[in-house]
């Protein structure tokens, strides 16, 4: 279906400089013509209402310029890509150098890629229909290679993990898949996260960290094609293997490029043996749109690198015999100005070094200090909207 780009420009008296003040995309020639007539007639006045330009022309009449308005109706152009010509460009954004940064299309295009046929988003949702999150059909690197594609509908793509249906996909500059999203719906007042999650289909995985079946929000790959991270839907839980034993996971996990575990988000409080003693690991304030980096982190060797806790405090004995207590600190609640919350404390482990990030940042050399742990009895955690209907079990964020 052919589409028309309609733009209204504000001109200087000379008409040399213009500023776009209105832009619309119309799929009907009659609608484009009607809007062009209405604006032109309003600018020229009743005596000139019959002097209507044709679609695809630009008005430069002196009378129109003196009124300070130029009207342009443009048919859409095309863009050449790595995977073929994209036609029906309805709108575009460019880099400072002029190269296309992103565009929206209003016509069907079938791109033949190494991952399968891809049809970029071109249909806008009707009133009451599920909207797509990314309304830009295509994104580009400055060198012209495709950076991202929002698909018109879910299509199976060939990935390093096999055939997976996706509604959005992004790429590395070398052409390999970067991130893949099975769903790409817009979460708003008309379409809830729960409704979107109901559309998610469980997927089977067989990875070095375990074999499982789960609903995922996104998959992230290294340029080499190796899986970098897997992000779960909030209601999903799974068990994976770690160097400390099996662990129940929420949010997701990430991997080193050699396939070993890099980080994970525990679904409940986990007692970990660390170089300074037992630490109860849990991040009650986990944030982020992906599971690229989580609160428990491991080196490729399996050694523990970092952990967050709200249940454990540290007792530090210095070389001079003095002792310091470090604990997760309390601050104003983000939900209730009169309430408080406990902020997770981060403990990082290095070669003979320990770094603690609490209310202040502390760096310790284990050759001159002794650090031990102790359980904390006071923990203030915030409830959230997802607590409604929660049974407080294994998946409860308050555990």
Report DSSP letters for 185-230, one per residue: BPPSSSS-HHHHHHHPPPEEEEETTEEEEE-EEEEEE-TTS-EEEE
Shared-domain flag, residues 59 and 93? no
What are 207's two structure tokens? 């990875």
Tell me the C-alpha distance between 40 and 30, whole Å.
15
pLDDT value for 381:
62
Tell me the C-alpha distance between 219 and 115, whole Å.
15
Weakest mean pLDDT among 9-13, 102-106, 290-294, 393-397: 9-13
Shared-domain flag, residues 192 and 92? yes
Q: Which conformational region is residue 98 in: left (phi greater than 0), alpha (psi within -120 to 50 degrees), or beta?
A: left
Place of tokens 């309390």: 330
Shared-domain flag, residues 153 and 234? no
Range of the domain at 106: 77-196
Q: How confident is the model at residue 337 (pLDDT cuts 50, 70, 90)?
A: confident
Shared-domain flag, residues 309 and 370? yes
Segment 261-301, tens digit of pLDDT: 999 999 999 999 999 999 999 998 887 679 999 999 999 99
Shared-domain flag, residues 111 and 30? no
Sheet containing strand 323-326, edge to edge, reads 323-326, 312-317, 370-375
Residues whose CB falls within 8 Å of the CB of residue 145, separated by 6 or more in sequence, listed in order:
82, 171, 173, 175
Could you give the number of structural domains in the chain?
A: 3
Tell me the C-alpha distance between 242 and 70, whole Å.
66
Q: Is the pLDDT of residue 255 over 90?
A: yes
**Which residue, of 171, 196, 221, is where some domain finishes?**
196
Shared-domain flag, residues 241 and 161? no
**Which residue, of 60, 75, 90, is where some domain finishes?**
75
Q: Which conformational region is residue 128 in: left (phi greater than 0), alpha (psi within -120 to 50 degrees), or beta?
A: left
pTM: 0.77
CA nearest neighbour of 115 among 185, 78, 165? 165
Place of tokens 């999203």: 181
Shared-domain flag, residues 60 and 112? no
Alpha-helical (H) ranges within the chain are: 29-44, 62-66, 193-199
Contact predicate 187/132, CB 8 Å = no
Specify if 394 maps to a domain.
no
Shared-domain flag, residues 329 and 341? yes
Q: How confident is the model at residue 122 (pLDDT cuts 50, 70, 90)?
A: very high
Quote the distance between the C-alpha of residue 174 and its chain's center. Answer: 21
What are 336's two structure tokens? 């209730």
**Which residue, of 75, 99, 134, is where some domain finishes?**
75
Shared-domain flag, residues 241 and 360? yes
DSSP notation for 87-145: EEEEEEEE-TTS-EEEEEESS---EEETTEEE-B--PPPPTTSPPBS---SEEE-TTS-
Segment 368-393, tens digit of pLDDT: 999 999 999 777 665 443 443 444 45
Segment 71-88, tens digit of pLDDT: 333 345 889 998 999 999
282: burial class by Cβ within 10 Å (0-12, 13-18, 19+)?
buried
Contact predicate 88/74, CB 8 Å = no
Q: How confident is the model at residue 180 (pLDDT cuts 50, 70, 90)?
A: very high
CB atoms under 10 Å from CB of 27, counted, come to 17
Cross-strand partners of 274: 277
Specify if 399 maps to a domain.
no
Specify if 283 maps to a domain.
yes
The tally of CA atoms less than 13 A away on the side-chain side of residue 152 is 16
- Average model confidence (pLDDT) for the chain? 81
Shared-domain flag, residues 243 and 379? yes
Tell me the C-alpha distance between 256 and 60, whole Å.
61
Specify if 83 maps to a domain.
yes
Name the residue with higher pLDDT: 254 or 385: 254
Specify if 393 maps to a domain.
no
Specify if 226 maps to a domain.
yes
pLDDT value for 62:
37
Shared-domain flag, residues 260 and 176? no
240: helix, coil or strand? strand
Q: Is the pLDDT of residue 153 over 80?
A: yes
Weakest mean pLDDT among 32-36, 54-58, 249-253, 315-319: 54-58
Average pLDDT over every residue of 215-243: 96
Place of tokens 């009378």: 63
Tell me the C-alpha distance between 388 and 307, whole Å.
29
Shared-domain flag, residues 63 and 135? no
Specify if 279 maps to a domain.
yes
Specify if 395 maps to a domain.
no
């Amino acid at each position: 279906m052919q589409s028309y780009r309609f733009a209204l420009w504000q001109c200087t008296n000379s008409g040399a400089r213009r500023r776009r003040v209105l832009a619309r995309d119309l799929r009907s020639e009659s609608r484009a013509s009607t809007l062009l007539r209405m604006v032109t007639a309003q600018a020229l006045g009743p005596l000139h209402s019959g002097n209507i330009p044709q679609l695809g022309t630009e008005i430069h009449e002196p009378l129109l310029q003196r009124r300070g308005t130029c009207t342009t109706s443009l048919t859409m152009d095309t863009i050449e890509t790595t995977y073929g010509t994209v036609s029906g460009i309805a709108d575009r954004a460019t880099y400072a150098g002029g190269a296309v940064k992103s565009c929206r299309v209003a016509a069907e295009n079938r791109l033949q890629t190494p991952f399968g046929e891809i049809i970029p988003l071109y249909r806008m949702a009707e009133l009451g229909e599920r909207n797509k999150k990314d309304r830009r059909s295509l994104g580009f690197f400055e060198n012209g290679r495709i950076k991202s594609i929002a698909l018109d509908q879910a299509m199976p793509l060939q990935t390093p993990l096999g055939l997976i249906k996706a509604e959005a996909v992004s790429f590395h500059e070398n052409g390999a898949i970067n991130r893949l999203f099975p769903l790409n719906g817009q979460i708003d007042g008309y379409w809830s996260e729960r409704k979107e999650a109901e559309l998610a289909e469980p997927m089977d995985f067989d990875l070095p960290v375990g074999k499982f079946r789960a609903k995922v929000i996104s998959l992230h790959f290294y340029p080499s094609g190796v899986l970098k991270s897997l992000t779960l839907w909030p209601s999903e839980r799974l068990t994976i293997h770690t160097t400390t034993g099996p662990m129940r996971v929420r949010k997701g996990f990430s991997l080193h490029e050699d396939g070993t575990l890099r980080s994970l988000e525990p679904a409940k409080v986990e007692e970990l043996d660390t170089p300074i003693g037992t630490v109860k690991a849990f991040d009650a304030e986990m944030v982020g749109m992906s599971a690229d980096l989580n609160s428990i982190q491991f080196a490729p060797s399996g050694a523990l690198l970092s952990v967050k806790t709200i249940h454990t405090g540290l007792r530090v004995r210095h070389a001079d015999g003095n002792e310091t207590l470090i604990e997760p600190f309390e601050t104003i609640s983000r939900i209730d100005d009169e309430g408080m919350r406990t902020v997770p404390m981060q403990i990082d482990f290095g070669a003979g070094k320990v770094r603690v990030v609490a209310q202040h940042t502390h760096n310790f050399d284990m050759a001159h200090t002794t650090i031990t742990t102790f359980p904390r009895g006071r923990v203030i955690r915030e409830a959230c909207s997802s607590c409604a209907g929660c049974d407080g079990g294994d998946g409860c964020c308050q555990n």
